[in-house]
Amino acid sequence: MLSFLARKQKIHIQKLSDIPTSSRKQKDIFVDFIQCVVTICSEIPEFPSLLLNEAASDRERFNIVLKDIINPFKSACLPFIRQAISNNIIRGRNEDAIFMFLISSISMSIITPELIFDNNSPCNAEKIVSELSMLLLN
């Protein structure tokens, strides 16, 4: 499972680096970033499930997941978060907390959409992006 996620992750990290940034408003770039992270988590729903499962289980295994999967993804996300913080377009100031808020919010929305949306509606990426944008953006 980890090797599968690591291979998929390389593709997803490339998607993050492909987000156009020149001559665009910082707020638009950050919304595109949120959209990209939602898409990534939606494409591999095993990722959020794995994170939640491993975080609650064996610490040694979680440290492997942290090193091989989470940290590379976090490293690709932090430039977007830092830019948003420095341009004062998001409410938070702690980049690690913002990253974890973003990932956990998206993960829970994908794994258990009935807790957040109508009981009969499936996970809707647009709704997730809209809600996160309202929560984070100034």
Per-residue model confidence as pLDDT tens digits over 85-130: 999 999 889 999 999 899 888 888 877 777 766 666 656 788 888 8
> Alpha-carbon distance 11 to 115, whole Å?
30
pLDDT in tens, 112-121: 777 766 666 6
Q: Which residues contact 131 (CB under 8 A, 6 or more apart)?
A: 105, 116
Q: Considering only CA atoms, which of 82, 115, 86 is closest in space to residue 99?
A: 82
Taking the C-alpha atoms of residue 3 and residue 88, their distance in angstroms, rounded to an integer, is 37
Residue 119 confidence (pLDDT): 60
Q: What is the pTM of this model?
A: 0.85
Would you state the structure tokens that stand for residue 85, as one six-digit string?
Answer: 């913080």
What per-residue confidence (pLDDT) applies to 111? 77
Report which of residues 112 and 13 the model is more confident about: 13
Distance (Å, whole) CA 137 – CA 50: 28
pLDDT for the residue 54: 75
Predicted confidence band of residue 81 (pLDDT cuts 50, 70, 90) = very high
**What is the DSSP secondary-structure string of 54-70?**
HHTS-HHHHHHHIIIII
Q: What is the pLDDT of residues 22-68, one digit of tens each?
A: 889 999 999 999 999 998 888 877 776 777 777 777 788 888 888 88
Torsion of CA 93, 8, 5, 63, to 10 degrees: -40
pLDDT of residue 9 exceeding 70, the answer is yes
Rounded to an integer, the average pLDDT of 59-84 is 90
Mean pLDDT, residues 74-81 taken together: 96
Residue type, 13: I
Domains defined for the chain, CATH in brackets:
25-136 (1.10.357)
